[in-house]
Amino acid sequence: MKTPHDSPALLEQHAGYPPVWNGKVPLTVCMATTVRADFPFIYMNPDMVAYKGKVYIVWVNSYGAVAAILTCPAENNLLGLKPYEFEIIAWHTCQNPRDEDQVRNCLMLKKSSNA
């Protein structure tokens, strides 16, 4: 299962990364609309839904694509979101996601504080 700390955007951001985010990486979003998997029969899981008004932790790729991390018991627990389907609520606390050492230190602190 994916976690927000697995987000590739924390380590690398390509030219297509949204410039309005100023290099920051989303951590949580609030859904503006209910989103269902395009092909739920492929996942064999009807729980692949992100509901309007609910807050979800997200995974972000290096181009800025955002996916809600769902708690459903599926091998692939990511539900891709379009930019107009959510509002960013919180950002990762690592200020410079391009600095790999800073990101690794930040993630190690988070893991040790959760232990």
Q: How does pLDDT run across 54-110, given as a tens digit for each residue? A: 999 999 999 999 999 998 766 678 999 999 999 999 999 865 545 556 555 655 554
Residue 23 has pLDDT above 50, yes or no: yes
Q: Give me the phi and psi of 70, to 5 degrees please.
A: -90, 155
- Give pLDDT tens digits for 25-61: 999 999 999 998 877 555 566 778 999 999 999 999 9
**pTM score, two decimals?**
0.77
70 burial (CB, 10 Å; 0-12 / 13-18 / 19+) is: buried
Q: Is 105 helix (H, G, I), strand (E, B) or coil?
A: helix
- Contact present, 62 and 17 (Cβ < 8 Å): yes
What pLDDT is recorded for position 44?
Answer: 60
- Contact present, 91 and 27 (Cβ < 8 Å): yes
- Alpha-carbon distance of 106 to 85, in angstroms, equals 29
Q: Is 60 helix (H, G, I), strand (E, B) or coil?
A: strand
What pLDDT is recorded for position 9?
Answer: 93
What pLDDT is recorded for position 115?
Answer: 47
